[in-house]
Structure 1
Amino acid sequence: MKRNQLNHFFTQLLLVASFLAMVAPAQSLGFSGKVQRVYTPPPDSVERKAILDAMRAELQKQHNLDVAFVVREMKVSGGWAWVHTMPRSKDGGSRYEDFSALLRKTDGRWRVVEIPCTEPDNPECIDNPDYFSKLLDRFPGLPASILPAGTPER
């Protein structure tokens, strides 16, 4: 009789484990019910160009710079993008400070929603260990998976 009880226990345990294995990935589901994968749009793609054009317009507006970007990192998921670039003049003669931005796609357009400050010792800037946690708090729905490595998951 004990063997039957033990078999029953392990069967129940296996069922619970199987259920949890199916439910746990639901945390990565968006409101649409689709898994939101993280990807990098390929060079010369329409999406990559639209993201970089939004960043380029922001630099033009803030600093009157017309730049080309060397992309160090670009992660996109669920209508959000995190991009880290090294801007240069279009002729390649001038290089500027690294430029990172968080973008959101709304109404079919990519828009810059956050440009992290880079001032040393400023608790609101990107070098602060809590910067990305605060960013996740400020932007509900932002997938932590697009943020740089080492960012705490929510």
Structure 2
Amino acid sequence: MRFLRTLFLAACLLGGGMTSVLSAPAADRAVSQAILKALGQELKAWTGLEAVFLVKYLQVKNGWAWVATFPQSPDGKSRYEPVEALLHQEAGAWKVLEIRPGGPDCEEDPDCADDSRYFRRLKSRFPQAPPEIFPH
């Protein structure tokens, strides 16, 4: 899988199978869509919400991905806590392995609130993940 070297803003509409990603080559768009679809399915399973994601950060390498997003309702009227996640491609499908806690859950946990500590801990838990995908 190609390494995405972009920080780009994308919108992904989940539900109904419609997905669009801006500013990415076609092959990268397909990968981005699959990653965001998996993230959207996980978010819906947790919360019951359909979401559109504004992507702050997305890096992919060797079947691993780290994504940082700003989810919102499809109509744009409701905005939700940022969602960051580690995904791995297994048997051709993207699977969410970890979603970083947000809001008070993260602020009250020093291992989460401190980016360096969080990513160091995450890398030790998932040593197979290429370090280049992480922002820190």
- Normalized against structure 1, the TM-score is what? 0.67
Alpha-carbon separation, structure 2, partners of 1:48 and 1:84: 12
Which residue of 2 is the match for residue 147 of structure 1? 134
Q: Per-residue CA shift, 1:59-82, capped at 9, x if unaligned?
A: 101011100111111000010000
Q: Report SS of the residue matched to 1:125.
A: helix
Which of 63, 66, 81 matches 1:82?
66
Q: Which residue of 2 aligns with 1:122?
A: 109
Give 2:3's match in structure 1, choosing from 34, 38, 43. Answer: 38
- What CA distance in whole angstroms lies between the structure 2 residues aligned with 1:147 and 1:140? 12
Rg larger for: 1
Q: Match of 1:49?
A: 33
What secondary structure sits across from 2:85 in the alignment?
Answer: strand
- Which structure shows the bigger proportion of residues in strand conformation? 2
| Offset at residue 140 of structure 1 (A) | 1.9
Q: Take 1:43 and 1:82, find their aligned partners in 2: how far apart are those partners?
A: 18
Q: Paired residue for 1:66?
A: 50
Alpha carbon RMSD of aligned pairs, Å? 2.0
1:20-52 deviation line (CA, Å, top 9, x unaligned) = xxxxxxxxxxxxxxxx86315827722111100
Aligned pair partner of 1:109 in 85, 93, 112: 93
Q: Distance in 2 between matches of 1:56 and 1:43?
A: 22
Q: CA deviation at 1:123?
A: 2.9
> What is the match of residue 122 of structure 2?
135
Residue by residue, what CA displacement relative to the aligned partner does 1:84-138 show, whole Å, maximum 9, x if unpaired? 0110100111111111100000100000001111321303425353111111111
Contact 1:75 1:82 survives alignment (8 Å): yes
Structure 2 length normalisation: TM-score? 0.76
Number of aligned residue pairs: give it: 114
Higher relative CO (CA 8 A, sep ≥ 6), structure 1 or 2? 2
